[in-house]
Amino acid sequence: MQAMTKPTYIAIVQHAKNGKPALVFVPTRKHVRLTAVDIMTYSRADSGEKSPFLLRSLEDIEPFVDKIHDEMLKALLRHGVGYLHEGLCNLDQEVVTQLFETGWIQVCVICSSMCWSVPLLAHLVVVMGTQYSDGRENAHTDYPVTDLMQMMGHASRPLLDNFGKCVIICHAPRKEYYKKFLYESLPVESHLHHFLHDNINAEIVAGIIENKQDAVDYITWTLMYRRLTQNPNYYNLQGISHRHLSDYLSELVENTLSDLEASKCIVIANDMDLSPSNLGMIASYYCISYTTIERFSSSLTAKTKIKGLLEILASASEYALLPIRPGEEELIRRLINHQRFSFENPKCTDPHVKANSLLQAHFSRQSVGGNLALGQREVVISASRLIQAMVDVISSNGWLSLALLAMELSQMVTQGLWERDSMLLQLPHFTKELAKRCQENPGNKIETVFDLVEMEDEERRELLQMSDSQLLDIACFCNRFPNIDMAYEVVDGENVAAGESITLQVTLERDLDGRTEVGPVDALRYPKAKEEGWWLVVGDTRSDHLLAIKRVSLQRKSKVKLDFTAPRDTGKKLYTLYFMCDSYMGCDQEYSFTVDVKDAAAFDEDEAAIC
């Protein structure tokens, strides 16, 4: 990379004349800063104090530079060189983007991982190195061809230029490969055989594939089938005759279906007919791997605690590809030492250990920087979907307390809190010290958001001791906090016979406080916009048995029916109705109701007498 810096600068000088913009793509965040500094150093050596890359006066650009938080970026922008990587705050990224798009700076160095998200276009693109460290066994991997084409595509300004230029600087042995890539068509091979299990499972759930022959026929309509005879070695095919092809497909389908059956995602009847099981439907609905759903099913028990839930969640196959970058092992080890739950003989190069530690750091609100912050973003976003699948698996087993615990885990992921933390920490500008002061408020303990809303304005202002803008942020959060009225009724509750179905009619109505729509969840710690969801659960707390569950998406008003079966023994039965949020803490509701279950025979006699 050091050897590529001078050629990169020369390429910019030669091909981006007259102030035409230039983008430089480098592999990592570290190289972004080093390369930008080197380019600035070369320009000062050639041109003196006045940099040719700064296309406006220093006085014009200074007000924008003052907004930047990164001190090194400030210095570089004054010389017309900017850089972008995922570790920059949103304001810094926006300022650099605007300065480059308006033509005030000429050069911008960008991390290659941002090639799909950055909208910048330039006359010249320099791809400075075509390999990146994948964090596994200190190996270096070539950029995917799609990423390389995306980088090249940034050299396109059709309204300003007749042509764009791209300079690719790479290791000498790769030069011929990229020349071939430019001048000849590149064969595109299928990867379906690497992901066939989840694909076949989804088609079985959808009813497209009903037997083994349908599975074979399904593959014949794919790109993989077309490429099998064109490049048999790639797919480990022994020959290209019809017999070889038939044997290969039969073996592939048999092995795939056997794996799915072993993981209890499908059922094979008469050694031919295929039908989905409950686990298979859950995996397909949430788009998660069949190996993940198998792990959830085999690992979860009725006595699993929050520590076990976190370990099982972090063991999901979706986290297996989480990269362990060079130098991260020591950072992860330090992170592990400061977490609530300890690890037994942790292997810091294990991506599942990394996922667990990043989740716990998210709940503890520990700041992680750089590439660890990127990894934490991926882990947290995936966790929401995985927890929903986990709730479905738990519900299938009828474990009430564990299902409620998993729902609380979903709230923890969204708000970045432990279940034992104060609910007030969801509010903007709140600290642990302030939350403690609210809870110890003499005469009026403030423990929930609703307690804070009910306070008098002056009393609240005196307690919080915040500026008007901060109080406005808190008011906005409180206005968006779910305030839902729930009413319920057991349909025909006086005439319930043992073993018959009971219907619970639930009516939900939200107070929108003048708003027209709910909008996304107000969660400062969640890395993307999220829509809130709810679970309605009926359970028997004495036996810890979950009887009915339904996922609800509520806007203003909704009516929901929950059906469950009355027990065989008669008498008055006490049940509990739970209304659980997947995003906010402190807005869950819980109600108890009774059902008088009568003997079925006596019930029939009463009906006959009435008739």
The confidence score (pLDDT) of residue 599 equals 79
Q: Which residue has the tokens 């709140």?
A: 430
| Mean of pLDDT values over 107-132 | 89
Q: Where are the beta strands (DSSP E) in 47-154?
A: 81-84, 107-111, 124-128, 131-133, 140-142
Residue-wise pLDDT tens digits, 519-529: 888 888 898 88
Given a contact cutoff of 8 angstroms between Cβ atoms, the answer to whether 19 and 103 are in contact is yes
| Mean of pLDDT values over 573-581 | 92
For the cut 70, the answer to whether the pLDDT of residue 607 exceeds it is: no
Closest CA to 206 of 159, 288, 271, 266: 266
The confidence score (pLDDT) of residue 257 equals 95
Give CA–CA dist 144/479, Å, rounded: 47
The confidence score (pLDDT) of residue 605 equals 57
User: Quick count: other Cβ atoms within 10 Å of Cβ 177?
Assistant: 14
Label residue 139 by pLDDT band (50, 70, 90). Answer: low
Label residue 239 by pLDDT band (50, 70, 90). Answer: confident
Task: Quote the percentage of the chain above a pLDDT of 70.
Answer: 97
Given a contact cutoff of 8 angstroms between Cβ atoms, the answer to whether 257 and 200 are in contact is yes
For the cut 80, the answer to whether the pLDDT of residue 370 exceeds it is: no
37 vs 139, more confident: 37
Average pLDDT in the chain: 88
The confidence score (pLDDT) of residue 606 equals 57
Residue-wise pLDDT tens digits, 294-338: 999 999 999 999 999 999 999 999 999 888 877 788 888 888 888
Q: What residues form DSSP beta bridges with 250?
A: none
Residue 236 falls in which region: left (phi positive, over 0), alpha (psi -120 to 50) or beta: left
- Give first-to-last CA distance, the chain, whole Å: 91
Phi, psi of 448 (to 5 degrees): -125, 170
| Mean of pLDDT values over 220-236 | 90
Please tell me what DSSP assigns to residue 192: G
Give CA–CA dist 611/609, Å, rounded: 5
Residue-wise pLDDT tens digits, 452-463: 888 888 888 888
Task: Quote the percentage of the chain above a pLDDT of 90.
Answer: 42
Closest CA to 597 of 496, 504, 490: 496
Given a contact cutoff of 8 angstroms between Cβ atoms, the answer to whether 581 and 534 are in contact is yes
The confidence score (pLDDT) of residue 505 equals 92
187 vs 372, more confident: 372
Q: Are strands 165-169 and 484-491 parallel, antiparallel or unpaired?
A: unpaired
| Mean of pLDDT values over 502-506 | 90
| Mean of pLDDT values over 546-573 | 88
The confidence score (pLDDT) of residue 135 equals 57
User: Quick count: other Cβ atoms within 10 Å of Cβ 194?
Assistant: 7
Label residue 131 by pLDDT band (50, 70, 90). Answer: confident
| Mean of pLDDT values over 364-389 | 89
For the cut 70, the answer to whether the pLDDT of residue 604 exceeds it is: no
Q: Are strands 266-269 and 273-276 parallel, antiparallel or unpaired?
A: antiparallel
The confidence score (pLDDT) of residue 208 equals 93
The confidence score (pLDDT) of residue 279 equals 94
Residue-wise pLDDT tens digits, 38-66: 999 988 888 777 778 888 888 888 888 88
Residue-wise pLDDT tens digits, 174-197: 888 888 877 777 778 899 999 999
Give CA–CA dist 544/537, Å, rounded: 12
Given a contact cutoff of 8 angstroms between Cβ atoms, the answer to whether 297 and 371 are in contact is no
Give CA–CA dist 588/578, Å, rounded: 7
Give CA–CA dist 353/347, Å, rounded: 7
Residue-wise pLDDT tens digits, 72-99: 988 899 888 999 988 888 888 999 999 9
Please tell me what DSSP assigns to residue 540: E
With a CB cutoff of 8 Å and minimum separation 6, the contacts of 408 are 419, 585
H or E stretch covering 261: helix 242-262
Q: Are strands 81-84 and 496-497 parallel, antiparallel or unpaired?
A: unpaired
Given a contact cutoff of 8 angstroms between Cβ atoms, the answer to whether 53 and 107 are in contact is yes
Give CA–CA dist 256/219, Å, rounded: 12
Q: Where are the beta strands (DSSP E) in 251-306?
A: 266-269, 273-276
Give CA–CA dist 145/140, Å, rounded: 15
Give CA–CA dist 59/70, Å, rounded: 19
Of 28-42, 124-138, 260-274, 503-517, where does mean pLDDT reach its minimum? Answer: 124-138
